[in-house]
Amino acid sequence: MFNWTERPASALANGAVIAPDERLPWLQTGAMGVQHVIAMFGATVLAPILMGFSPNIAILMSGIGTLIFYFVTGGKVPSYLGSSFAFIGVVIAASGYAGKGPNANIAVALGGIIACGVVYILIGALVQAIGTGWIERFMPPVVTGAVVAVIGLNLASVPIKNMAGSNFESWMQAVTFLCVGLVAVFARGMLQRLLILAGLILATVVYAVLTNGLGWGKPVDLSGIANAAWFGMPTFTTPVFTANAMLLIAPVAIILVAENLGHLKAVTAMTGRNLDPYMGRAFIGDGIATVVSGAAGGTGVTTYAENIGVMAATRIYSTAVFVVAALIALVLGFSPKFGALIQAIPLPVMGGVSIVVFGLIAIAGAKIWVDNKVDFSQNKNLIVAAITLIIGTGDFTLKFGDFALGGIGTATFGAIILYALLGKSRNA
Residue 127 is assigned to a structural domain of this protein: yes
Residue 98 has pLDDT above 70, yes or no: no
pLDDT band at 178 (very low <50, low <70, confident <90, very high): very high
Residue 157 has pLDDT above 80, yes or no: no
Do 166 and 409 contact (CB within 8 A), yes or no?
Answer: no
Q: What is the pLDDT of residues 232-272, one digit of tens each?
A: 888 888 999 988 788 778 877 877 887 788 788 878 887 78
pLDDT band at 1 (very low <50, low <70, confident <90, very high): low
Residue 24 is assigned to a structural domain of this protein: yes
Residue 277 is assigned to a structural domain of this protein: yes
| Coil, helix or strand at residue 272 | coil
Residue 391 is assigned to a structural domain of this protein: no
Q: What is the pLDDT of residues 70-93, one digit of tens each?
A: 999 998 889 899 988 778 767 877
What total number of domains does the chain contain?
Answer: 1
Backbone angles phi, psi at 286, to 5 degrees: -65, -40
Do 113 and 300 contact (CB within 8 A), yes or no?
Answer: yes
Do 23 and 318 contact (CB within 8 A), yes or no?
Answer: yes
Q: What is the pLDDT of residues 119-131, one digit of tens each?
A: 999 999 999 898 8
Which residues, in sequence order, are bridge partners of residue 83?
301
Average pLDDT over residues 374-390: 92
Residue 232 is assigned to a structural domain of this protein: yes
Residue 224, phi-psi category: left (phi > 0), alpha (psi -120 to 50), beta (remainder): alpha
Q: CA 90 → CA 57, 75, 402, 404, distances in Å? A: 20, 32, 9, 7
The range of the structural domain enclosing residue 34 comes to 17-371
pLDDT score of 189: 64
Bridge-based pairing state of the strands 22-23 and 5-6? parallel
Residue of higher predicted confidence among 111 and 242: 111
Residue 4 is assigned to a structural domain of this protein: no
Residue 8 is assigned to a structural domain of this protein: no
Residue 399 is assigned to a structural domain of this protein: no
